[in-house]
Chains A and B, each alone.
Chain A
Amino acid sequence: MEILSLLLTITGYMIIAYMLVVGGIYLILFFMSMPKIRREHGLDRDEPIEELTESEDTYPVSVLVPAYNEELGVVSTVRSLLALKYPEFEIIVINDGSKDKTNEKMLTSFNMEKVNSPIRQHFPTADVNHVYRSRTHQNVWLLEKENGGKADALNAGINFSRYPYFAAIDGDSILERDALLKTMKPIIDSNGGVTCTGGTVRIANGSEIRRSVVEKIALPKQPLAIMQIVEYFRAFLIGRLGLSRVNVLLIISGAFGVFEKQRVIRAGGYETKTIGEDMELIVRLHKMLKDEKSTQRIEYIQDPVCWTEAPSDVKSLKSQRIRWQKGLAQTLWRHKKMMFNPKYKGIGLFSMPYYFFVELLSSVFEFLGYFIIIAGLVFGLVNPEVTTLMIIVTILYGSLLSALAVLLEEWTYHKYRDMKSILVLYFWALTESFWFRPFMVWCRVVGLFSVMKKKQTWGDMKRKGIEEEQKGA
């Protein structure tokens, strides 16, 4: 018994050390993000993009919307895209063999007709059976193809697109009207020096959405969705902003990102054999840029540009997180040669190890941590000091960082219009370590074990359609 106790105590100290290091990294990322956010606090966000609205130097963009069983969200997504403030763009919805009424909804809502349009073959994809074009909106296209997965649908969209840049957006997302302008700005300003950009994705649950526009931002009632809002603040405003400031960001969210088409074509397009095709592509682009000794960059802007529906039930959330974890594991495994490889500089020496030890394996360490806490509290197997320290570190690790993320949100966009929202966000941020985080840890551990399953799917999130949120979630 004593040996077991000693073993658990040693493991406990190791986990405490690990948690402190991880917490330290997050704090460093926070302090990297903070100066930029503080600097831009109060800046007029519309002025910098005003000129791009009419400039002929604003590159045209093809917006790709891969859709699989998106009958609830696809029409509002396309409508939100049609309202985009951008000089020239086309919208290509790729129906990846949906079994619901995605096709019918598109055909009737946008008055579409079948056309004969040639498709270039930059990459092989599942067969595209029909091409439709809207009679009322000449820049709206629908590709009806055989099921091949999200990456395959995106590749088909790239094949069909005709502009030099493309934006990939999820079928259930809604873009801010100036989203394309804001995300294209770094590309235009750098004269092509930036090859890919992404912005902050926000959760739309609870907000009032009318005619595909987010009109009033409010919090949802379900704690599960509120926690995801806090989680997104932390991930985007601390994690991604911090990493992008040193050009080592490995993820541009699949919900919305803009890419230089030629670069993606040369990289071989989206990888169809992985679940996390968005991250995998970014890692491959980083690798390509470093191999070519290119000075091009991948940039993240902190402006909230895209709204998405977060899972509001446990089953959907669990399934989503398992998928994310699998995607992360697959990408890291596929590019394992970059890990600790000085040739890839910050990506090889920091980003890859960070995503491996912090984002992927933290669930295992935390799982062990919870086990030790329980063993200490219930069975008295562990030194009480270790148990206490473990609890404090766990709370500090989650809650303080989440609260800091709420602070960053207030410094940047303070989108919530009342004091109550801040209190609610703050309260739930404090409770994160007690219920949401253990649940996430469990999902991610399950995700790690399910990596072995080869089958790629679109995920099976139960959607309500975010337009419904106008009634208040």
Chain B
Amino acid sequence: MMWAVWLIVIFVVLQLVLLVYLLLMKSRALKYEKALQHHYEQVLPQMVSYASGEKQHLPEFPSGHHLKTAIIEKVLDRLATITENTGEQARLQQFAEQELLPVYKKRLRKGNWAERMNTLYFIEDLQLSQMADAVDAHINRLRPGTEEHRQAVRTLATLGHTGAVDELLREEVSGTVFRKEILRRLPEEELRHLVNRLDADNHPELYQALLVHVGERGLLEFLPDVERALSHSNMEVRLKAMKSIGAYQYMNQPELIHPFFHSEHWEERMFACKTAAVLSLENRREELLELLADREWWVRYAAAEALQSFSDGEILLEYARHNHEDRFARDMAARTLTAKAEGER
């Protein structure tokens, strides 16, 4: 029966070790959180005075390296959300770079995964542009497509580093949402840089995302590129260009939309209707009334919506409801008018 005794002893020791470890860990964590909160509350008002120039000296931080960094991060994170004055922001930025740069460089090289990720988040939030080269170097150590790689590219894009464009052009970088996240972060000059380097045929998805993005951001500098894309051989590109124009709510040459009312592809006819609505192309009534009888439901729907958006839309739809020669067009006009009256969800 000795084996049973041994088994029980091993089991009890295991459980005890686990319990002691748990208690020690909890006690340390609670102490640390208490100290962090205590120092944070003390340091925050002093840092506000420092940022405003009211005080020239920095507050005193505790000596523990890890705790000090955590307090600085917490304080700066808080101040970043409430500081609007440019001068104050500059002082905080300088302080952040002075205190955090050496720590962050070390963490990117030697920290564990969670530490590296948190560091990348902070570099991005605090816009530590002096860390850009270090992040760029860090990216080269990462496998494309991993969570850390994606965050590193996001951070680099926020810092406006060309390396982000290089990463975006890599084949392994995929996912529409991710591409758009990077595009949203890139400054205009880097977007121009990207447009110049981008081959629409080699990177069709990125090109399409870029077209939509510049429209969403209302960057008029890129409008000629978008209008040029309307004559691209790939239908998806033409559609995205129309979507972009819809977001711009403006275009230099509205006549470029006209051929799409007669396109053989229903998607293009539908987008032409949507664009007509956004740009208030009221001189395209005839085409829209014609498309009210389109064989595709979505085109008829978009045509009716476009007509409805015009100043005399209700009169036009009322007319179509009773007099259009096509039964489906009459139905769609009636449906649009009724839906509006009932406040359809």
Residue B7 interfacial (CB < 8 Å): yes
- Residues in B with CB closer than 8 Å to A51 are 181
Q: Is the CB of B118 within 8 A of A410?
A: no
Q: Is the CB of B15 within 8 A of A430?
A: yes
Encoded as 1 (CB less than 8 Å from any B CB) or 0, chain A from 414 to 454 comes to 10011100110010001000000000000000000000000
Residue B19 interfacial (CB < 8 Å): yes
With both chains docked as a complex, state the minimum distance between the C-beta of B327 and any C-beta of chain A, in angstroms.
21
Residue B180 interfacial (CB < 8 Å): yes
With both chains docked as a complex, state the minimum distance between the C-beta of B9 and any C-beta of chain A, in angstroms.
11
Q: Is the CB of A422 within 8 A of B175?
A: no
Q: Interface with B: A170-178, A341-349, A399-407, which one?
A: A399-407
A interface secondary structure, majority: helix
Enumerate B19-37 residues with CB–CB distance to A below 8 Å.
Answer: 19, 21-23, 25-27, 29-30
A116 to B29, CA, bound (A): 56
Q: Is the CB of A422 within 8 A of B26?
A: yes
Q: Is the CB of B176 within 8 A of A191?
A: yes
Encoded as 1 (CB less than 8 Å from any A CB) or 0, chain B from 179 to 212 comes to 0110000000000000000000000000000000
Q: Is the CB of A385 within 8 A of B345?
A: no
Closest to B29 in A: A414
A430 to B18, CA, bound (A): 12
Residue B115 interfacial (CB < 8 Å): yes
Task: Give the interface centre of B11, B26, B121, B216 by most chain A CB atoms within 10 Å.
Answer: B26
A417 to B342, CA, bound (A): 52
Task: Give the interface centre of A43, A116, A385 by most chain B CB atoms within 10 Å.
Answer: A43
Interface size on B, residues (CB 8 A): 35
Q: Is the CB of A403 within 8 A of B26?
A: no
Q: Is the CB of A43 within 8 A of B15?
A: no
Encoded as 1 (CB less than 8 Å from any B CB) or 0, chain A from 12 to 28 comes to 00000000000000000
Encoded as 1 (CB less than 8 Å from any B CB) or 0, chain A from 43 to 54 comes to 110010001000
- Assuming the contacts A191-B177, A410-B26, asked whether A47 and B121 have C-beta atoms less than 8 A apart, the reply is yes
Closest to A56 in B: B216
Q: Is the CB of A399 within 8 A of B15?
A: yes
With both chains docked as a complex, state the minimum distance between the C-beta of A220 and any C-beta of chain B, in angstroms.
20
- Residues in B with CB closer than 8 Å to A414 are 26, 29
A426 to B23, CA, bound (A): 10
Q: Is the CB of A400 within 8 A of B177?
A: no
Encoded as 1 (CB less than 8 Å from any A CB) or 0, chain B from 155 to 181 comes to 000000000000000000011111011
Residue B8 interfacial (CB < 8 Å): yes
Q: Is the CB of A57 within 8 A of B180?
A: yes
A446 to B19, CA, bound (A): 35
Encoded as 1 (CB less than 8 Å from any B CB) or 0, chain A from 255 to 287 comes to 000000000000000000000000000000000
Residue B82 interfacial (CB < 8 Å): no
Q: Which of B25, B117, B177, B342 contacts A116 (CB 8 A)?
A: B342
Q: Is the CB of B22 within 8 A of A41?
A: no
Q: Is the CB of B177 within 8 A of A44?
A: no
Q: Is the CB of A388 within 8 A of B1?
A: yes
- Assuming the contacts A39-B114, A392-B11, asked whether A385 and B4 have C-beta atoms less than 8 A apart, the reply is yes
With both chains docked as a complex, state the minimum distance between the C-beta of B157 and any C-beta of chain A, in angstroms.
12
- Assuming the contacts A41-B114, A43-B118, asked whether A392 and B23 have C-beta atoms less than 8 A apart, the reply is no
- Residues in B with CB closer than 8 Å to A41 are 114
Q: Is the CB of A423 within 8 A of B121?
A: no
- Residues in A with CB closer than 8 Å to B112 are 39, 42
A389 to B7, CA, bound (A): 9
Enumerate A103-141 residues with CB–CB distance to B below 8 Å.
Answer: 116-117, 133
- Assuming the contacts A57-B177, A189-B177, asked whether A422 and B23 have C-beta atoms less than 8 A apart, the reply is yes
- Assuming the contacts A43-B118, A426-B19, A430-B15, asked whether A419 and B181 have C-beta atoms less than 8 A apart, the reply is no
Closest to A187 in B: B177
Q: Is the CB of B7 within 8 A of A44?
A: no
Q: Which of A56, A162, A426 contacts B22 (CB 8 A)?
A: A426
With both chains docked as a complex, state the minimum distance between the C-beta of B20 and any C-beta of chain A, in angstroms.
11
Q: Is the CB of A392 within 8 A of B4?
A: yes
Task: Give the interface centre of A56, A116, A392 by most chain B CB atoms within 10 Å.
Answer: A392
Q: Is the CB of B1 within 8 A of A423?
A: no
Encoded as 1 (CB less than 8 Å from any A CB) or 0, chain B from 39 to 76 comes to 00000000000000000000000000000000000000
Q: Is the CB of A42 within 8 A of B114?
A: yes
A42 to B25, CA, bound (A): 13
Residue A235 interfacial (CB < 8 Å): no
- Residues in B with CB closer than 8 Å to A116 are 342
Q: Is the CB of B345 within 8 A of A117?
A: yes
A51 to B183, CA, bound (A): 13
A419 to B30, CA, bound (A): 9
Closest to A387 in B: B4
Residue A188 interfacial (CB < 8 Å): yes
- Residues in B with CB closer than 8 Å to A364 are none
Closest to A426 in B: B19
Encoded as 1 (CB less than 8 Å from any A CB) or 0, chain B from 103 to 116 comes to 00000000011110
Residues of A participating in the B interface, judged by any CB pair closer than 8 Å = 39-44, 47, 51, 55-57, 116-117, 133, 162, 188-191, 384-385, 388-389, 392, 395-396, 399-400, 403-404, 406-407, 410, 414, 417-419, 422-423, 426, 430
Q: List 14 A-B contacts (CB under 8 A).
A: A42-B114, A44-B117, A47-B117, A133-B345, A189-B177, A190-B175, A396-B11, A400-B11, A400-B15, A403-B18, A403-B19, A410-B26, A414-B26, A422-B26
Residues of B participating in the A interface, judged by any CB pair closer than 8 Å = 1, 4, 7-8, 11, 14-15, 18-19, 21-23, 25-27, 29-30, 112-115, 117-118, 121, 125, 174-178, 180-181, 216, 342, 345
Instruction: Give the top 3 A-B pairs by smallest Cβ distance, nearest first.
Output: A43-B114, A47-B121, A42-B114
